[in-house]
Amino acid sequence: MAVQFLRGDLMSSLERDKPWDGGKERKLGIALVLAGGICWGFIGIFVQALGPVIDTFTLSVLRLGIASVLMIPIIIYQSGIKAFLIPAKSLLFFIIFGLCYWPLYQLSYFSSIQMISANIAVILLYTAPFYVIVLARIFLGEAITKKKVAAAILGVAGVWIMFASWAVDTTPTMLLGGILGLGAGFFFATYYIYVKKALNASDPFITSFYSMFFGCIFIALATLVFFRDKLHYQPDVRSVMLIVGIAFVSTTLGNTLSIMGIKRMEAGEAGVFGLIEPITTLVASWLIFGSLLKGWQIVGALLVLFGAYMIYRQPGPGADDAAHSPNRQ
């Protein structure tokens, strides 16, 4: 079913032989980013379900490796084997993308989840939209408005209210997990910048494949060089199914849907709509693990979400321009 959703018929119906409608394209972009965010929201659930049976580094490599392999038949079906032949300049960009984004984000985020609960790790991760606003201004020229600044202050305040109330009675390991969660938020923010740049010359499926492929290579190399002694994994049916689940649902499907959505809107805007991920994780964690947040943690989380809502409760002034940009192929 999911493969059918990603097949060439979808791309042709979305992007070819139709009159251009910026408003509809933006709505479609929002829907795709929300769908991708929901898929991402299950990352924490899969990781928490796996628990200590596998180390962070092995999981990171397997996740991206399996996700990359799953992309291959989709791309071949959509565009043929020649789609993998891209200009040297684009290939170099994806190498940089894979080196600077995936290892830093994924290792810090997975480590955070294993040190603290998935729900708190995801809320810390989602300081990302506020980093995106600044990075998008620097690298993409997107405007920073008073509403964005006010929302960013609200969001950061919410994170610190949540973090401080939780950190009072934590162990040093949990504090380190919180710091890693905040770091993951910054590294995650760079994803939107890299993707927006990549889409200037590449198809969303190719962008998804090469970013994951090179990310897998660099994480594997870093693991072999620096963390070889920390590797451990004894496969069993349950853990294999969970790893395939995180690779397909939260990586192949989540990344591709999100990239298709980012193509149709500003990076800063997409980062805000991506806040559906922590909501997904909180609900799923409650339903599956019975996890609960303390009162002040909930207040902090609501401030983060309200700050994000302030930024784009109405279409931003650059949304229409983004929809008509040459990124659309």
What is the per-residue pLDDT across 268-318, written as a single tens digit (0 to 9) for each? 878 877 777 777 777 787 778 777 766 776 787 787 778 767 765 655 544
- % the chain with pLDDT above 70: 79
CA distance 312 to 188: 20
Interhelix angle 56-79/254-262, rounded to 10 degrees, is: 60
Q: Token digits for 14? A: 């979305």
Question: Which of the four pLDDT bands, split at 50, 70 and 90, describes residue 35?
Answer: very high
Per-residue model confidence (pLDDT) at position 314: 54
Per-residue model confidence (pLDDT) at position 11: 47
- Per the CB < 8 A criterion, the answer to whether 168 and 324 are in contact is no
Inform me whether the pLDDT recorded for 242 exceeds 90: yes
- Predicted confidence (pLDDT) per residue in 190-237, tens digit: 999 999 999 888 888 999 999 999 999 999 998 888 778 888 888 899
Tell me how long the chain is: 329
Going by the DSSP 8-state scheme, the letter that residue 54 receives in this structure is B
Per-residue model confidence (pLDDT) at position 308: 66
Inform me whether the pLDDT recorded for 106 exceeds 80: no
242 burial level (CB within 10 Å; 0-12, 13-18, 19+):
buried
Share the mean pLDDT of the chain.
79
Per-residue model confidence (pLDDT) at position 264: 86
Most confident of 14-18, 42-46, 318-322: 42-46
Inform me whether the pLDDT recorded for 84 exceeds 70: yes
